[in-house]
Structure 1
Amino acid sequence: MDTSPTALFDSYEQDFKQIIQSIRDKLEGDGKDAQGEQRKAALRRVEMELDEADEMISQMEIEIQGIPQSLRPSYQSRIKASKADLQRYKKLSKEQHTQLSRSELLSRPGVSATSDEPYGATSDRTRLLAGTSLLEDGSRRLLESQRIALETEEQGADILRSLRGQREQIQNARDTLQRADTSIDRASGTLKKMIRRMYQQRVVTAAIIVVLVILILVILWAKLWR
């Protein structure tokens, strides 16, 4: 298993490329020639894949925080290129959704683009306007969802940075405690040596006093018994 700091980033990027290739096939490849319900299903699948691709980019942005600074610029450029691809296909998907909706409305009975009434009967034109309004509302909701997703992504990145900072603080505190523990051990050894020397000095002092007392007693004995 690859344990390098860029392994997860590379994995997410590879998944992103596979998803984008699938989207490209549906929007620009053979899939774009599908009609009717088949085309609707393809576009629905594109929407799901766009969400998956968006999630892959979010994961890549999280993983880049753990990549060494010396390697990070090249990976940031790769994220930027991936975002550009994603936005391009989001725009293309939206355009094809709109084209499909217009085609369905114009293909209904009573609707003719070449008649004196460009949208057919008044009721058909009303339905077309309502459909357009719904599309615009859907687009606004999609943009709002994207904005919320980006805000959530930024908050997640901030939390990750905060956690990394806290981890560094804990590591620094642990190093400080280890140094303090080492200093305490050294101080304790020094105190033990001082105590040992103090006891040695006491023994020497006591021995000197005993010798002096014996000498005094000997002198007294000598004077008294002579």
Structure 2
Amino acid sequence: MDNSPTSLFDSYEQDFKQTIDSIREKVDGDGKNERGEQRKAALRRVEMELDEADEMVSQMEIEIQGMPQSIKSQYQTRVKSAKTELARYKKVAKDLHAASARADLLSNVGGSPFRDVPNDDGGAVSDRSRLLAGTALLEDGSRRLADSQRIALETEEQGADILGNLRRQREQIENSRDTLRTADTSIDRASGTLKKMIRRMYQQRVVTGAIIAVLIILIIIILWSKLR
């Protein structure tokens, strides 16, 4: 397992590039060329992948905070480039959504729901009726867009809260790691002190044994001289 300070960043960046490639294929393919429900489905998938890519960029920013200062600047440049690319595809997706909405509006205004409604002259539906219907559809689209923006803001706030919690948890983990390092250092010092005490104890035992041996020899010599 790679434990380098940039390994997670590189992993998130690789996932981001793969997601962007997938988004590019969809906006250049079904999102642009298809019509109707197929196009809407492709755009929904694009929105989901854009959210995933946004989360990956946020994780990359978090990983930068723990990098050494010597390499942090070059990785910040890479994050900035990723943000620029993500913003570009968000704009493309927004433009495709707008184009799809316009196409649906034109299709509904000039389509079958109004062809069978006669006007006073017995002809097709009047321009006024079509205009009113188009206005209603436009208002409905505006309401849906407002709801989408509200949901996006709520999701962004939730994401910010999650990122804040992740940062706090990261700080707690780093503090715990520092505490463990300090404790490990203290244990090493205590172990060294105990080893010194044990060595001194053995030295004292050897000295004490030597003194006792000398005393015994002296006693034996004295006794031998007395008896002689």
Which TM-score band (shorter chain)? 0.7 to 0.9
Structure 2 contact 30–38 (Cα < 8 Å) conserved:
no
Correspondence 1:179 to 2:189: yes
Could you state the TM-score of these two structures normalised by the residue count of structure 1? 0.75
| Contact 2:62/2:167 (<8 A) preserved | yes
Percent identical residues: 42
1:201 to 190, 211, 214: 211
SS at match of 1:70: helix
Residue pairs, 1:25-104, within 5 angstroms: 25-27=25-27, 31-64=31-64, 67-104=67-104
Of 114, 117, 120, the residue aligned with 2:131 is 120
The one-letter code matched in structure 2 to 1:201 is I
- Pair 46,190 (structure 1): closer, same or farther in 2 beyond 3 Å: same
Q: Unaligned regions of 5+ residues in structure 2, if any?
A: 112-125
Tell me, in whole angstroms, the C-alpha distance in 2 between the residues paired with 1:31 and 1:131.
Answer: 19
Say which of 145, 151, 168 aligns to 1:158. 168
2:43 maps to a residue whose letter is L
1:3 deviates by 6.7
Amino acid at match of 1:71: I
TM alignment of 1:186-225, pairs within 5 A? 186-209=196-219, 211-212=221-222, 217=226
Task: Confirm or deny: 8 A CA contact 2:6 2:67 kept in the other structure.
Answer: yes
Q: Distance in 1 between matches of 2:130 and 2:51?
A: 35
Aligned-partner Cα distance in 2 for 1:117–1:96 = 29
Q: 1:31 to 1:101 in 2, by over 3 A?
A: closer
Counterpart of 2:145? 135
Stretch deviating more after TM superposition (27-36 or 91-100): 27-36
**Alpha-carbon offset, residue 62 of structure 1:** 4.6
| Root-mean-square deviation (Å) | 3.4
* 8 A contact 1:106–1:119 mirrored in 2: no
- Supply the AA of the counterpart residue of 2:167: A
Are the aligned partners of 2:16 and 2:56 in contact in 1 as well (CA < 8 Å)? yes
Give the match for residue 18 of structure 1.
18
Tell me by how many angstroms 1:78 deviates.
Answer: 0.8
Displacement of 1:5 in angstroms is 4.5
Contact 2:50 2:90 in 1 (8 A): yes
Name the residue aligned to 1:168. 178
SS at match of 1:108: helix
Counterpart CA distance in 1 for 2:151 and 2:218 is 99
How big is each residue's C-alpha offset from its partner over 1:67-107, in whole Å with a ceiling of 9 and x where there is no partner? 44422221122112212322332243234324422432343
Report how many residues are paired.
Answer: 215
Distance 2:68 2:26 in 1: 37
The one-letter code matched in structure 2 to 1:135 is: L
What is the distance in 1 between the residues matched to 2:127 and 2:90?
36
**Structure 1 unaligned spans of 5+:** 222-226
Q: Distance in 2 between matches of 1:149 and 1:84?
A: 20
Of 34-43 and 102-111, more deviation after overlay is shown by 102-111
